[in-house]
Structure 1
Amino acid sequence: MKKQEILTKIRNDNYSKIKFAVADIDGILRGKYIHKDKFFNAVDNGLGFCDVIFGWDCADKCYENSEITGWHTGYPDAKATVAMETFRQIPWEENTPFFLGDFSNDPKYADSACSRSLLKRIASQSEELGFKPIFSQEFEWFNFRGTPNEIAESDYTELHPITPGMFGYSILRTSLNQPYFNDLFELLQQFNVPLEGMHTETGPGVMEATVIYDEILAAADKAILFKSAVKEIAYKHNFVATFMAKWHEKLPGCGGHIHQSLWDLDKKQNLFYSSDSANKMSTTMQHYVAGLLKCLPEILPMFAPNPNSYKRLSGGDWAPRTLTWGIDNRTCAVRAIPGSEKSTRIELRVPGSDTNAYLALGASLAAGLYGIKNKLPLDTAPTKENGYLETSNGVLPDSLEKATKKMANSEIANQLFGENFVKHFTKTREWECQQFERNNLHEELKRYLEII
């Protein structure tokens, strides 16, 4: 729908309130309900949010190392812009109108802290180079019985998955909780976050779903909304859904793999496909893969943002730590998927489901474009066997502390995202490292289970 059509619909239909949300640095939606008269004013003039949303962590504890906001600034308002193209209605809330927003028109925050604004800049750079990025993120997540209160009252020690055992691609397990799975598929479709597919993964109570691909900003919007919507739909069934990267040391982690390709600006030609090249991979695709491999160690916190993320990146567990690529090889960091002109793409397997989609998708695109702009050669052979054992091209940092220090001092990171963003983001990751003793899974459960 066009802007004027949306405004006419909201003006004429019997709505008393509109729901509006923005993403913080962790990808958590922070929002409010507003009267529709206030909404019309916000469309023209923006909507104020206390800028503490950029000055606190996922537990609402204020950063003590932030420079752009804090007690020293008095936490003024930041001006959010309504992204009209994100309009949808919430089917589990009587079709309440919903919009996402960002701070693209407020330079102080757009430059340093707003993840959606960062993605918009990177997407614009891509189009200036003649590339239309088409992306999708897939998610794995665990589901538990009970309410948030009940789980918190047990001090996170009584976690009961909604199904037992290890049973990937199970038809039985989906039937066992059919009302929940039907709601996920159907309500997400109505919410304009359509799923390409959904199935059980290996592990008790774990699911996997892929959101249908789209242009990168819309794809990231849908990925952000997918996680929040799944949690809300789970509440309806007395379940709690978690997107933690690794909630249990003896069970598989949760991936947030990113599928991606570059097309011409008219979206008629997949620029990753070449019928004349080896493996059908164009030179553009080869440069892109080389850029990912070059940049990954420099910007890893964009894909693994929490201490818990690194429990998943442990050298196996379907989550690579090695700087490898391969043809349809799921043990590699970068899985090239050559096929038809329509389907040829790359799957980045490093990110977990705990990512902020705006940062993860944006970082992946920026790294690939770095390879193209610098014409980086793909001079490592594709890994044909177990990529977890192939360390000749290097390995990723094994903790958030190490990864954050590397990114904070990285010329590549500053080039890709700008010094202001890198400075603020790495300070938030330094803070995250300081919030509990390293390798304390119980504290990680209390911090991340529901909110991330």
Structure 2
Amino acid sequence: MTYEDINQLIADNDIEVIRVVFNDITNVSRARNIPVKHFQDTVMQKGVQYPSAMLSVDTSANFVLAAGAGFAGGYGSWLLKIDPETFRIIPWAKKSARVIADLYTLEEVPVPVAPRSVFQRVLQELDKEGLAAYGAAELEFYIFKQYDEHGFDPTWTGLQCYSEIKQGEIDEILYQIVSGLAAVDIHVEAANTEYGPGQFEVSINPAWGIAQADVAFTLKTAIKEMMAQQGLLATFMTKPLTGLSGSGSHFHHSLYHKATGQNALFDPEDAYGLSDLAKHFIAGQLHHAKAISALANPTINSYHRLRPYTFAPSNVTWGLENRMCMIRIPGARGQGTHIENRLPGADNNPYLMMAAIYAAGLDGIRRQLPVPPPVENEDAYAKADASSLPKSLGEALEALNQDEVLVNLLGPEFVQAFTALKTHEINRFTDHVSDWEVKEYRELF
């Protein structure tokens, strides 16, 4: 999309405000709302300043000095420069449009800790190998009428995922999601109820390169906004309800040879239909699984989902059409050959989750790591020789910081900032006395 295309869309749709947005390190969507004249005169081509301090705040908006230069650095300004390809009209917001931006220093150097920049660097490494990345996040989430300290009231009740009757009860919600996403060029393959009261799942068409993360980022904010306008709360919190299903963000992805356009994971002569490159790509993701988890499951809450016998992975395994494994290889072959990594929770930053998974797979390709046999005719959860996934965010952060290959591919400065923010989050949680503790112990002792 060109600047001329953007100006035409603004004129055709009588746009008055443009949101310039990005996804920060802690997975908060940040925006500056720009009046249309200033956007067209200045921001569209020159960018808009943004305080660097905002990349040093955690999920509670507390400043974490170790995540940036600290007060000694002065917290100067950075630049938000738009990616014209991401400009979209927002049909649910009055006379508004939205465009995703990249963060630059005032000298117009990409900010190394910005999540979109992290993913772009990994894509550049894949490009050096002559490979193009193609994928989509399959997102699960809950929508509540009420969800607060007084309890919860789901938009539908029971556990009947895919039930036509249940889906008929909330048809207006499903319609609004599908039609609203289509209006911003996110094309849904399927939308349905999932295995929890008020839980939904949306599968979308895959995209190339950075767009696969842009789409996931936009999808989350779109659904939250559309539901809020109906007085509903949509949450991508991984485990909002004790004892019920967690929400995942299964990542379906593939690699293609840039020179030929052919699927790089397919080999018709192999017993599994998988190329040697595919096996190395899988092996890399298995090898770095614990470190990936810090970015695929980046909150304290995420780790309530990674439990055996819940259709979420609990150990480092792979299998063909096996939904108990961390990596599932769906049955499609030929140009449709792809991998489903089932590790990510719904609360991840898609730029960071995808960067970590592709970086891990790339290392497997470059070092030609051998892949272990897939899980076949065996209970993946009971596989004694499989390594366990991290059971906490702290354990995952430790694995990430010890993984030199992933640290180098993602960027040491980014990993340091991410670790500082998440460690602060863990420390705040550790200091908090939970309702469970009060109910368990207050009368007993």
TM range (shorter): over 0.9
Structure 2 distance, partners of 1:9, 1:243, is: 31
Deviation at residue 249 of structure 1 after TM alignment? 2.1
Q: Give the corresponding residue for 2:161.
A: 168
Q: Give the corresponding residue for 2:64.
A: 63
Change in CA separation of 1:402 and 1:318 when aligned onto 2, cut-off 3 Å: same
Letter in 2 for 1:99: V
Structure 1 distance, partners of 2:420, 2:107, is: 19
Letter in 1 for 2:53: V
Q: Give the corresponding residue for 1:46.
A: 47
Deviation at residue 205 of structure 1 after TM alignment? 0.7
Deviation at residue 97 of structure 1 after TM alignment? 1.9
Determine if the alignment matches structure 1 residue 93 to structure 2 residue 118: no
Letter in 2 for 1:236: Q
Q: Give the corresponding residue for 2:235.
A: 242
> Match for 2:195 among 185, 197, 202?
202
Given that residues 291 and 370 in structure 1 are in contact (C-alpha distance below 8 angstroms), is that contact kept between their aligned partners in structure 2?
Answer: yes
Letter in 2 for 1:65: A
Letter in 1 for 2:43: A
Long gaps (5+) in structure 2 = 437-445
Deviation at residue 121 of structure 1 after TM alignment? 1.0
1:217-228 alignment runs, 5 A limit: 217-228=210-221
Secondary structure at 1:299 match in 2: helix
Letter in 2 for 1:284: L
Deviates more, 1:328-337 or 1:393-402: 393-402
Letter in 1 for 2:52: D
Structure 1 distance, partners of 2:200, 2:266, is: 31
Given that residues 112 and 422 in structure 1 are in contact (C-alpha distance below 8 angstroms), is that contact kept between their aligned partners in structure 2?
Answer: no
Structure 1 distance, partners of 2:220, 2:313, is: 23
Structure 2 distance, partners of 1:157, 1:342, is: 50
Deviation at residue 96 of structure 1 after TM alignment? 1.8
Given that residues 355 and 410 in structure 2 are in contact (C-alpha distance below 8 angstroms), is that contact kept between their aligned partners in structure 1?
Answer: no
Change in CA separation of 1:363 and 1:425 when aligned onto 2, cut-off 3 Å: same
Structure 1 distance, partners of 2:296, 2:13, is: 41
Deviation at residue 69 of structure 1 after TM alignment? 4.0
Structure 1 distance, partners of 2:167, 2:433, is: 33
Give the number of aligned pairs. 435
Structure 1 distance, partners of 2:107, 2:298, is: 24
Deviates more, 1:75-84 or 1:348-357: 75-84
Deviation at residue 260 of structure 1 after TM alignment? 0.5
Deviation at residue 413 of structure 1 after TM alignment? 2.3
Letter in 2 for 1:366: A
Q: Give the corresponding residue for 2:339.
A: 346
Note the aligned Cα RMSD (angstroms): 2.1
Given that residues 319 and 376 in structure 2 are in contact (C-alpha distance below 8 angstroms), is that contact kept between their aligned partners in structure 1?
Answer: yes
Long gaps (5+) in structure 1 = 444-452
Q: Give the corresponding residue for 2:358.
A: 365
Determine if the alignment matches structure 1 residue 270 to structure 2 residue 263: yes
Deviation at residue 52 of structure 1 after TM alignment? 2.4
Deviation at residue 105 of structure 1 after TM alignment? 6.0
Change in CA separation of 1:292 and 1:232 when aligned onto 2, cut-off 3 Å: same
Given that residues 322 and 388 in structure 1 are in contact (C-alpha distance below 8 angstroms), is that contact kept between their aligned partners in structure 2?
Answer: yes
Change in CA separation of 1:385 and 1:237 when aligned onto 2, cut-off 3 Å: farther
Secondary structure at 2:84 match in 1: strand
Change in CA separation of 1:274 and 1:205 when aligned onto 2, cut-off 3 Å: same
What fraction of aligned residue pairs are identical, expressed as a percent?
Answer: 28
Change in CA separation of 1:243 and 1:172 when aligned onto 2, cut-off 3 Å: same
Write the deviation string for residues 324-356 of structure 1: whole angstroms up to 9, x where unpaired: 000010000111124231321100001000000
Deviates more, 1:111-120 or 1:226-235: 111-120
Secondary structure at 1:179 match in 2: helix
TM-score, structure 1 normalization: 0.91
Secondary structure at 1:436 match in 2: helix
Determine if the alignment matches structure 1 residue 122 to structure 2 residue 115: no
Structure 2 distance, partners of 1:363, 1:439, is: 30
Q: Give the corresponding residue for 2:145.
A: 145
> Match for 2:318 among 325, 328, 339?
325
Secondary structure at 1:430 match in 2: helix
Given that residues 137 and 249 in structure 2 are in contact (C-alpha distance below 8 angstroms), is that contact kept between their aligned partners in structure 1?
Answer: yes
Structure 1 distance, partners of 2:434, 2:205, is: 33
Change in CA separation of 1:95 and 1:325 when aligned onto 2, cut-off 3 Å: farther
Deviation at residue 386 of structure 1 after TM alignment? 2.0
Deviates more, 1:184-193 or 1:313-322: 313-322
Secondary structure at 2:100 match in 1: strand
> Match for 2:304 among 290, 305, 311?
311
Deviation at residue 3 of structure 1 after TM alignment? 3.4
Q: Give the corresponding residue for 1:255.
A: 248
Structure 2 distance, partners of 1:96, 1:424, is: 33
Structure 1 distance, partners of 2:392, 2:107, is: 32
Given that residues 261 and 345 in structure 1 are in contact (C-alpha distance below 8 angstroms), is that contact kept between their aligned partners in structure 2?
Answer: yes
Letter in 1 for 2:144: F
Structure 2 distance, partners of 1:47, 1:235, is: 28
Given that residues 326 and 334 in structure 1 are in contact (C-alpha distance below 8 angstroms), is that contact kept between their aligned partners in structure 2?
Answer: yes
Letter in 2 for 1:279: Y
